[in-house]
Copies of this chain bind each other. A is one copy, B any other.
Amino acid sequence: MLAAELASRPLEWFSARGDLAEVVMSSRIRFARNLKDRPFPTFASPEDLTSAQEEVMSLLLSVEHLRDSAVYHIDQLDSLSRQVLLENRQISPALARGGPGRSVVTDSRGVVSAMVNEEDHLRLQVLLGGLNLREALSVASSILERVDESRFAFHRSLGFLSSCPTNVGTGLRASVMLHLPGLQRLGRMEAVSLECQKLGLVVRGAFGEGTPSQGAIFQISNQVTLGPTEEELEEKTSAVARRLFEEEMRARQELLRVGGENLEDSIFRAYGILTNARLLSSREAMELLSTLRLGSSLGMLRPMPAGFWNRLVMDVQPGRVQALRCPDDTDPSGRRRARAALVRERLAEMAA
C-alpha cells in the first residue's frame, strides 16, 4: 500500500545531521518558478494546467538528480497517501487538494520535492535535517542550474515572476523548523515573533501558514524575496535561527531556575502518560513529546537523540500513524489507540 510505504521510509531530515539539532529540526529552501507565456496556475484552465504539467515534467526529468524520483499525480492518490506526503512535508496543503495537472516529483528520502501546478507552475523544495540551509540552497540551485532556465518567466528588473507578489524576485523562501519549548513556556513567543518581524522574517506554527503551533514547534522564514540575493536570504534566516537557538537554550536554563519542581513534575508526568496511555490524540501526543524532550535536554530524563524525536513527533501525525499502524481502520479511536501503542513501543525501545 502506497501510504504505508510513504510513511515507513526514513526521511533524510529525521536524521538531524545539520547543526543545532537540539533546537533546529529541519531546514528548507523553496524556489517558485513559472513557465513563460503561460497563465499562472491560479488563472489557468484545466487544459492549460495539463499542458504546463507536461512541460514542467519534461524539464524536471531531464535533470539527472531527479531521474530516480517518483512522480505522483495527486488526483490518482488516495486521501491517506496525500495526507502522508503532506505530513512528510513533501507536498503543501494546497497541492494535497489535487486538481488537474497537479503532481509532485520527489525522492524516496524526502530531500527534493518538485510540486507542479501548486500556486506556481513549479515549486522546488529541498529539505534537510538540523540547521543546514546553505547545503539545501546549494542542492536546490544545482537542480535549477540543470534546468533550462530560459523557459521560466523572468523580468529584467523584478526577477522571476510568481502568482503571488510576495514570491517575486528570487522566488526563494528559506525556512527552518524549530522546537522552542523553553521560550514558549516562559511566554516569550509573542516577543520572538515581533523580533523576527523586524528582521524581515515571519514565525508560523508547525505546519505552516495559518496553523497553530503544536508541541512548541515553530517555523520561521523570510518574508521578502525581492531585493536581497539568494545567499543573503539564506544567511539572514540562518543567523536568526542561530540566535533563536541561543535564546532557547538560555530560556531552558532560566526555566530550570524558575520552573523548579512544577517543571520537573510536568516532565515526569509527560513520561508517565506517554509510556502508559492507551489512547492519545495527536495534539496531546505532541505536547507531551515536546515536554519529554525538554526534560531530556534539561538532564532530567535520559538523553534523547534529535533524530529519534523528529521521527516520533512525525509518526504521531494522523496520516502517518494510520498508514504505519492501522491503514484500514477508519474509526478515529483506532488511530488514537494505534498512536498510543506506537509511542509506548518507541519509548520502550529507547529505554532498552
Q: Which of B271, B278, B337, B340 contacts A276 (CB 8 A)?
A: B271
Cβ proximity bits A248-284 to B, threshold 8 Å, 1 near / 0 not: 0000000000000110110011011111111100000
| Contact status A268-B261, CB under 8 Å | no
Report the Cα distance A277→B273, complex, angstroms.
Answer: 10
- A333 interface residue, CB < 8 Å from B? yes
| Contact status B264-A268, CB under 8 Å | no
Q: Which of B265, B268, B273 contacts A269 (CB 8 A)?
A: B273
| Contact status A261-B279, CB under 8 Å | yes
Q: Which of B269, B274, B333 contacts A277 (CB 8 A)?
A: B269
Which residues of the other chain, B, contact A265 by a CB distance below 8 angstroms? Answer: 277-279, 340
Which residues of the other chain, B, contact A278 by a CB distance below 8 angstroms? Answer: 261, 264-265, 268
Q: How many residues in A have their beta carbons less than 8 Å from beta carbons of B?
A: 18
| Contact status A268-B276, CB under 8 Å | yes
Chain multiplicity (copies): 2
Report the Cα distance A264→B264, complex, angstroms.
Answer: 26
Report the Cα distance A269→B337, complex, angstroms.
Answer: 13
Cβ proximity bits A265-309 to B, threshold 8 Å, 1 near / 0 not: 100110111111111000000000000000000000000000000
Q: Which of B261, B273, B333, B337 contacts A273 (CB 8 A)?
A: B273
Report the Cα distance A337→B261, complex, angstroms.
Answer: 8
Give, as a whole number of angstroms, the nearest-CB distance from A293 to chain B.
16
The residue in chain B whose Cβ has the minimal distance to the Cβ of A344 is: B268
Report the Cα distance A279→B259, complex, angstroms.
Answer: 13
| Contact status A262-B276, CB under 8 Å | no
Give, as a whole number of angstroms, the nearest-CB distance from A283 to chain B.
15
Within 8 A of B (CB), among A214-259: none
Which residues of the other chain, B, contact A264 by a CB distance below 8 angstroms? Answer: 278
Report the Cα distance A53→B31, complex, angstroms.
Answer: 92
Report the Cα distance A313→B311, complex, angstroms.
Answer: 40
Which residues of the other chain, B, contact A277 by a CB distance below 8 angstroms? Answer: 265, 268-269, 272
Within 8 A of B (CB), among A129-187: none
Within 8 A of B (CB), among A296-352: 333, 337, 340
Instruction: Give 8 nearest A-B pairs by CB, closest first.
Output: A272-B276, A272-B272, A265-B278, A268-B276, A265-B279, A264-B278, A272-B273, A268-B278
